[in-house]
Amino acid sequence: MSFYENTIKNMNKSAKIMKLDPETLQTLSSPQKTLIVSLPVRMDDGTLKVFEGFRVQHSELRGPFKGGFRYFPEVNLDEIKALATEMSFKCAVAGIPYGGGKGGVKCNAKEMSEGELERLTRRYVQAVYQIIGPNHDIPAPDMYTTPQMMAWFMDEYSRLVNKYQPGVVTGKPIEVGGSLGRGTATAQGGAYVLEEYMNQNNLKIEDHSVIIQGFGNAGMYAAEILHGMGFRILGVSDSKGGIYNEDGIDPFVVLKDKKEKGSVTKSDEGKACTNEELLEKKCDILVLAAMENQVTEKNADKVKAKIIVELANGPTSAEADEILAKKDVVIIPDILANSGGVTVSYFEWVQNQAGYYWPIEEIELKLKRIMVDGLNRILKFQDEHKCTMREGAYISAFDRLDKALKLRGSGAHLKCKVYLNK
Ligand code: NAD
pLDDT of the chain, 422 residues: tens digit per residue: 899 999 999 999 999 999 999 999 999 999 999 999 999 999 999 999 999 999 999 999 999 999 999 999 999 999 999 999 999 999 999 999 999 999 999 999 999 999 999 999 999 999 999 999 999 999 999 999 999 999 999 999 999 999 999 999 999 999 999 999 999 999 999 999 999 999 999 999 999 999 999 999 999 999 999 999 999 999 999 999 999 999 999 999 999 999 999 999 999 999 999 999 999 999 999 999 999 999 999 999 999 999 999 999 999 999 999 999 999 999 999 999 999 999 999 999 999 999 999 999 999 999 999 999 999 999 999 999 999 999 999 999 999 999 999 999 877 766 655 555 44
Structure confidence at residue 302 (pLDDT): 97
For residue 399, is it within any domain? no
Long-range CB contacts (< 8 A, 24+ apart) of 113-117? 113/44, 115/44, 116/41, 116/43, 116/44, 117/71, 117/149
CATH of the domain at 278: 3.40.50.720
141 lines ligand 1 (CB under 6 A): yes
**Domain region containing 165:** 30-170
The pTM assigned to this predicted structure is: 0.95
188 lines ligand 1 (CB under 6 A): no
CATH of the domain at 148: 3.40.50.10860
Residues that are catalytic: 102
Distance 23 CA to ligand 1 centre (A): 35
Nearest-CA residue for ligand 1 atom 31 is 312
For residue 216, is it within any domain? yes
Question: How many domains in the chain?
Answer: 2
- Listed in sequence order, the residues at least 6 apart from 381 whose beta carbon sits closer than 8 Å to its beta carbon are 18, 387, 392, 395, 396, 399
Residues 103 and 225 in one domain: no
Residues 213 and 320 in one domain: yes
For residue 350, is it within any domain? no
Residues 118 and 60 in one domain: yes
For residue 134, is it within any domain? yes
311 lines ligand 1 (CB under 6 A): yes
For residue 344, is it within any domain? no
335 lines ligand 1 (CB under 6 A): no
Q: In angstroms, rounded to a whole number, what is the distance separating the alpha carbons of residues 329 and 343?
A: 27
Residues 226 and 265 in one domain: yes
Distance 134 CA to ligand 1 centre (A): 25
